[in-house]
Structure 1
Amino acid sequence: MKRDRPIDSEAKNGRKLRLLLHGIDGCVPYMTPSTLEKYFPASDDNLWIGLAVRDTCVMPVFQEKKKVHKKNKNRNLETSSSTKASVAKKPSGYGFLPTKPDSWLEPYNRITVPTFDPIADNKKGSYTCTNKGVSVWTPHGRQKLTPGAYNEASLALDAEYTLSLFDIDDEEGNAKRQEKAEQRNKEWFEDLGKACSGQTDRKLWAPALIPNLINNPSASLAIAQSDNKKASGIALIGKWHSKLEKLLESLEYENVTMLSTDSLVEVLEIASGSAVNMIGTNLPQQWAKKKHALAIDFSFDESSKRVKSDKKDQLDLNSDGCIDMSSKVFARDARPLVPGRSTSLACADSMFSRAYIHHLVVAQEILAEILLFAHNLHQMLELLKAFREAKDPSALKEFIMKQLKI
């Protein structure tokens, strides 16, 4: 399961900062195996793929039911009262079943989680959690995910890294509720440790609820210590807070991951610090669905704080640093999405112009979202690379923030 990785720029200067892409339904959005391997090869250690049990392993459950067939008297069959029994499978709902990962994802560093964004899940309905499990939203509605079902499903996904099932504190300021959530999380982390105690190559992550971590750091981080297996990393769950930078800077975990981010500003805040070395997000897909392309300029001379590229291509960026490709201003624009500053699938060799991608958007062609997703993912990786190599990450953050419409 363990994979050998090449030494990249972050290893040379000691800065670790990777992208954890949220896999949807057990795959990478919009990508075929060939395009994924060509444009985002598994040899690049800076792209990791997360698989959530809530949508990867949810399957229909069938219940066997005996069905009795009476012989048809209208077809000259025997008129005896004899009957014939058969077994039929009747759908009885959905559950979380062990599922093997797609073979083309196996070369990539993968992480298994219960769900990426429990806060967004909560917005879809009332949040419920008991000692027996957590309710999570799936493509088939809300389902109960028990610790046993999660452990079995997550082990079947065969990822090198696994985050234990977690409860979250959805009642801010409720100390009793926070304590209960921490207690459940510790028990579920220990349960996962027991389930994979014989697998020495499997590394566990412990959940760290951000509100609880700020209020009671020692209690929250105690979850990562287990009699069966200690955590190799922690996953921060919730909304990023500036206080976390100082709280986490002394930790010595292999991975400190922000599980989910929902804006470019949040990504910039985290990337400009040194406490977190992996940022989880689904922004490339979210932007592609909105027909947006990430177009920020992060190439500047740190010594003079000036842009290295020219200013001829002034773009009207939104708060996420994107341009809206549905806008008519691009209808006659023959330039690539980011001229001279991107080698993404959409920009390489100036193969696809802004006008062409605008046409695809207007025509509602799925190719528009494919090109935009590949471009956005490429630019996100380049953005994190810029922060890895920056001598002054704070200056780079401020330079990018000035380009956004906030």
Structure 2
Amino acid sequence: MDESELVVLDVLDPICKQRISKLTDKHIGIPSDGGMRRLTPEMFSRAVQALKPDIVVPPADYVAEPPVAGNNRMANSVRRTARWLDESTGHAAPILVPVMGARSIEQREAWARIVAARNDVWGYVLNDTGLEMGLDDTLTLAKHSLGLLDASKLRYMVGASAPDAVLRAVLSGIDLVDSSYAFAVTEQGFASAYTLHGDDHGAAHVDLWHSSMADDFRPLVEDCTCFACRRHHRAYVHHLLTAHEMLATVLLQAHNLHCYQRFFADVRASIAAGSLAADAARFATRYSGAFDELHVLATQPFSPSSKAPSHRHNDPLSIANN
């Protein structure tokens, strides 16, 4: 494995909204390919010793219930997670501690006091996707929790994936996000065209499924330097999509990852220049609503190599400004 890559051990898939279930003080139930599996803190510690990850996210009792979840439930999740944290640590790998407390400010403050008393915490994980809150509510709770914790430590958030959400998260103090956004774009047969610093291409994405792409011999996105744009054109990728060729996924993924990585490079440059707030505001205006629709489309059960979407706009650049 490339030494520049990090191996993170977490009992949950960050992009999966299914939370742990069938838990007791001694074990938790986690989703796996073979159904729900029991996991004890001792089993987790053995996995850490065997896999030797670069970063460890200890098991946590995430609350995944409606807003009516009682304070006792949230208090129990804090107590149980603190116990598991004690029982599943003791290894050399850096620990990213899940931020607990769910919707309860009181329990978030209680958890912050527990974490502040430890000297083995490398950073924090904000993973409230199971609560199914909007990004505004999630970031409001995140800001409150982060305000109680050591600001010098890494702040890692799950659930901020689309570029506009990433910008809002970074402005709220998040350092690292876990995202499958480039893959989601690829699954829709879209080529990313958004940019934080570059020229406006008139849309956030280009729909390569659209019939007008059949005789469009331009690169997927003008001025893009990725392999797909340097070597191929829209008509070719459109043909691959309609022919259900796996190469469509390969080329689109290469392009969309390139675009996403360029976006993060621009974010870092904006931070260094002290212009992130202004750049983010301009980005939000330029691509207003563009990522909302893609988020909905990304939940549909199809991929470029299987079948064409059953619903598309007439405009190949429709995922753009409203």
Q: What are the ranges of 5 or more consecutive residues in structure 2 without an aligned counterpart?
A: 130-134, 293-322
Partner of 1:143: 37
1:143 counterpart letter in structure 2: R
Q: CA 1:151–1:179 in 2, change beyond 3 Å: closer, same or farther?
A: same
Output one character per residue of 1:207-265: Cα deviation in whole Å (capped at 9) or x when no partner: 113635745432222343566x5211111111442323365256334311003435443
Is residue 2:29 matched to residue 1:130? no
Whole-Å Cα distance in 2 between the matches of residues 118 and 374 of structure 1? 21
Partner of 1:291: 189
Task: Classify the secondary structure of the residue corresponding to 1:211.
Answer: coil
Q: Which structure shows the bigger proportion of residues in helix conformation? A: 2
Partner of 2:275: 392
Q: CA deviation at 1:400?
A: 2.1
Q: CA 1:105–1:135 in 2, change beyond 3 Å: closer, same or farther?
A: farther
Partner of 2:97: 206
Q: 1:314 aligns with which of 202, 208, 211?
A: 202
Q: 1:237 aligns with which of 101, 122, 127?
A: 127
Residues 131-280 of structure 1 mapped to structure 2, 5 A cutoff: 131-171=25-65, 172=67, 173-194=69-90, 196=91, 199=92, 202-209=93-100, 211-212=102-103, 214-225=105-116, 230-239=120-129, 240=135, 241-243=138-140, 244-245=142-143, 247-248=145-146, 251-273=150-172, 275-280=173-178
Whole-Å Cα distance in 1 between the matches of residues 249 and 15 of structure 2? 26
Partner of 1:357: 237
Task: Classify the secondary structure of the residue corresponding to 2:195.
Answer: coil
Divergent runs of 4+, >6 A? none
Output one character per residue of 1:118-165: Cα deviation in whole Å (capped at 9) or x when no partner: 86114xxx9432223222222222222322222222332212211101
Is residue 2:227 matched to residue 1:345? yes
8 A Cα contact 1:212 1:220, kept in partner: no
2:268 counterpart letter in structure 1: R
Is residue 2:251 matched to residue 1:371? yes
Q: 2:8 aligns with which of 111, 122, 126?
A: 111
Task: Classify the secondary structure of the residue corresponding to 1:279.
Answer: strand
Task: Classify the secondary structure of the residue corresponding to 1:337.
Answer: coil
Whole-Å Cα distance in 2 between the matches of residues 354 and 153 of structure 1? 46
Q: CA 1:158–1:380 in 2, change beyond 3 Å: closer, same or farther?
A: same
Aligned residues: 275
8 A Cα contact 2:100 2:107, kept in partner: no
After superposition, the CA RMSD in angstroms is 2.6
Whole-Å Cα distance in 2 between the matches of residues 223 and 327 of structure 1? 54
Whole-Å Cα distance in 1 between the matches of residues 101 and 256 of structure 2? 28
Determine which structure has more spread, i.e. the larger CA radius of gyration: 1
Output one character per residue of 1:292-323: Cα deviation in whole Å (capped at 9) or x when no partner: 222113225xxxxxxxx3x6x433xxxxx333
8 A Cα contact 1:291 1:372, kept in partner: yes
Q: CA 1:259–1:222 in 2, change beyond 3 Å: closer, same or farther?
A: farther
Q: CA 1:385–1:291 in 2, change beyond 3 Å: closer, same or farther?
A: same
Task: Classify the secondary structure of the residue corresponding to 2:121.
Answer: coil
Task: Classify the secondary structure of the residue corresponding to 1:334.
Answer: coil
8 A Cα contact 1:235 1:259, kept in partner: yes
Q: CA 1:205–1:297 in 2, change beyond 3 Å: closer, same or farther?
A: closer
Task: Classify the secondary structure of the residue corresponding to 1:180.
Answer: helix
Whole-Å Cα distance in 2 between the matches of residues 213 and 280 of structure 1? 24
Q: CA deviation at 1:166?
A: 1.0
Output one character per residue of 1:326-347: Cα deviation in whole Å (capped at 9) or x when no partner: 122222222222211x332322
Q: CA 1:248–1:226 in 2, change beyond 3 Å: closer, same or farther?
A: closer
Task: Classify the secondary structure of the residue corresponding to 2:254.
Answer: helix
Whole-Å Cα distance in 1 between the matches of residues 26 and 2 of structure 2? 31
8 A Cα contact 2:23 2:29, kept in partner: yes
TM-score (norm 2): 0.76
TM-score (norm 1): 0.61
2:113 counterpart letter in structure 1: A
